[in-house]
Structure 1
Amino acid sequence: MKKLVNYSPSPVNQILLGLLPFVVLLIVYMMGSDARLSINPSDKLLPSFGQMGDAIYRLAFEPSRRTGELVFWQDTLSSLLRLLAGVGIAAIFGLLVGLLTGALPVIYATFAPLLTVISLIPPLAILPILFIIIGLGEASKITLIAIGVAPFIARDIQRRTQEIPSEQLVKAQTLGASTLQIFIRVLLPQVMPKLIDAVRLSLGTGWLFLIAAEAISSTDGLGYRIFLVRRYMSMDIILPYVAWITLLAFLIDYLLSALNARLYPWNQEGKS
């Protein structure tokens, strides 16, 4: 009999085993919801799937009486624009700082300690400062995401740059390459797939800062809606919104992974 430690499931079994915990959670939730609603039909803690479907249908397909917008889609668009803007700025900043500090020893000696200190500052702690300096508009929310994500990306790119064999730099200089040419022709192509990986890893943090900023100061967005309806214990809206955020995060991560595999297949081969 094969020992469990040596058992490797087939691709089909891997899919089934991966789905199993989700099916169990759904069944447990349905049993708990049915039990609570049978005792108290107006219970809000564990709404049925039908109640959640009705609530999301109203938000997604019935225009708001106050604004005339489809609230669900407007919240989604606003949050995605803020997230992509913040993470995009962080990626550009992280790439530049990471490359410079990773490739140039004098820059590393000067700014690496500062980068380390900045990365240790909890971004949520400076949120009031951002509101005071920048205001309560979109800029403060995007800035919070960028500040929260950029140090992580910069330090990761810095480490990845330092891992590039020095022999490549020596060969490039032997062939007459300038510092700028080394950055563009040698370092940048090897760092770009690592940048996409770093962005993927930082998306969870980006979502955290997005939800926090929207909860504190916003008039739309997924985080704003969740914290708006919590005062009414509207779990029929909160739970679908949380599930939607999770799905969006998964889709963005999947798209970035596919983009990385498409643009830099050699990087995927190196992982295998």
Structure 2
Amino acid sequence: MKKLINYSPKRGNGFLLGLLPFVLLLAVYLINSELRLAENPDDKLLPAFSQMADSMHRLAFEPSKRSGDYPFWSDTLSSLTRLGMGVAIAALLGLTMGVLTGALPVIGASFSPLLTVISLVPPLALLPILFIVFGLGEVSKVALIAIGITPFIARDMERRTREIPHEQLVKAQTLGANTSQILVRVLLPQVMPKLIDSVRLSLGAGWLFLIAAEAIAATDGLGYRIFLVRRYMSMDVILPYVAWITLLAFLFDIALAKLNDRLFPWHKEV
């Protein structure tokens, strides 16, 4: 009899096994929702799918009487803009700081300890400071995302840079390369695919900081909408918004992975 530890499901079976937990969770939700609504039709904790569909249709396809915008799409656009700007700034800063501290010992000795200390500061604790310094506008929200994930990316880039064999640097210097040429032509191409992987890993934290900032001070955005309707216990809006955020995060992760494979097909381990 084959031991369980040695059993590896085939491709089709693996897909079904991966789908099974989602089907079970969906079934549990539907059963409990039906039971609660049968007992109390006004129950808001576990809304029926029809209730969620009606709410999302209203938010996505009916213009707001106040602004004329479609709330669902305007919330999505606002949140993605903030997230994109914050992640882009963090990626640029993290790449620059990580490569410099990892490649140049004098800079590493000076700034690596500071980078470690900064990475230990809870970014959400800085949110009131950011609101005081930058106000309640877009800058403070983008800054929170950038500050929150830059240390992680920078430390990862520093480690990845130091993993590059020293022999490559010696060979480049033997061929007459100076410091800037080594950084740009030897180190940078090798850490770029690692940067995309690092951004993928930091997106979860980026979403967290985005939702937190929007929940406290915003007039639009996915996080703003979730915390706006919670006072009315509108789970028919909250649950679809959470599912939408999850789907967006999943799609971004896949898109970055595909981008990495297309731009740097050689980075995969054989």
Equivalent position of 1:199 in the other structure: 199
Match in the other structure for 2:62 = 62
What SS class does the counterpart of residue 176 from structure 1 fall into?
A: coil
Deviations 1:213-252 (A, max 9, x none): 0000000000000000000000000000000000000000
Matched, 1:165 2:165: yes
The one-letter amino acid of 1:70's match is Y
Q: CA deviation at 1:265?
A: 1.1
What does 1:25-174 correspond to in 2, within 5 Å?
25-174=25-174
The one-letter amino acid of 1:208's match is L
Structure 1 residue matching 2:76: 3-state secondary structure: helix
- C-alpha displacement of 1:266: 1.1
TM-score, normalised to structure 1, is 0.99
Inter-partner Cα distance in structure 2 for 1:138 and 1:61: 26
Aligned to 1:218: 218
Offset at residue 2 of structure 1 (A): 1.4
How far apart, in 1, do the equivalents of 2:164 and 2:199 lie?
A: 20
SS in structure 2 of the partner of residue 64 of structure 1: coil
Q: What residue number does 2:262 align with?
A: 262
- In the alignment, what sits opposite 1:6? 6
Contiguous gaps of at least 5 residues in structure 1: none
Identical aligned residues as a percent? 73
Tell me the equivalent position of 1:20. 20
Q: Distance in 2 between matches of 1:55 and 1:27?
A: 22
> Amino acid of the residue matched to residue 3 of structure 1?
K
Letter in 1 for 2:161: T
Whole-angstrom distance in 2 between the partners of 1:121 and 1:4: 44
Distance 2:6 2:112 in 1: 45
Q: Aligned AA for 1:252?
A: F
In 2, distance between residues paired with 1:57 and 1:216? 26
- SS of the residue 1:19 aligns to: helix
Secondary structure of the residue aligned to 2:266 is helix
Q: Secondary structure of the residue that 1:108 maps to in structure 2?
A: helix
C-alpha distance in 1, partners of 2:83/2:73? 15
Q: Secondary structure at the match of 1:136?
A: coil
Q: Distance in 2 between matches of 1:186 and 1:238?
A: 48
Q: CA deviation at 1:56?
A: 0.4
Aligned residues: 270
Partners of 2:27 and 2:62 in 1: CA distance: 30
Q: RMSD of the alignment, in Å?
A: 0.5
Measure the CA separation in 2 of the matches of 1:16 and 1:240. Answer: 25
TM-score by length of 2: 0.99
SS of the residue corresponding to residue 63 of structure 1 reads coil
Using the TM superposition, give the Cα deviation of residue 77 of structure 1 relative to its aligned residue in structure 2, in angstroms: 0.4
Deviation at 1:67, TM superposition (A): 0.7
Q: For residue 3 of structure 1, report the CA deviation from its aligned partner.
A: 1.3
Equivalent residue number for residue 185 of structure 2: 185
Q: Hey, what's the Cα distance between the residues in 2 that align with 1:7 and 1:162?
A: 38
CA distance in 1, matches of 2:5, 2:213: 45
Give the distance between the partners of 1:89 and 1:263, measured in 2 at CA.
20
Q: Distance in 1 between matches of 2:7 and 2:226?
A: 43
What is the CA-CA distance between 1:4 and the residue it aligns to? 1.1
CA positional deviation for 1:98: 0.2
User: 1: distance between equivalents of 2:176 and 2:140?
Assistant: 45
What letter corresponds to residue 11 of structure 1 in structure 2? R
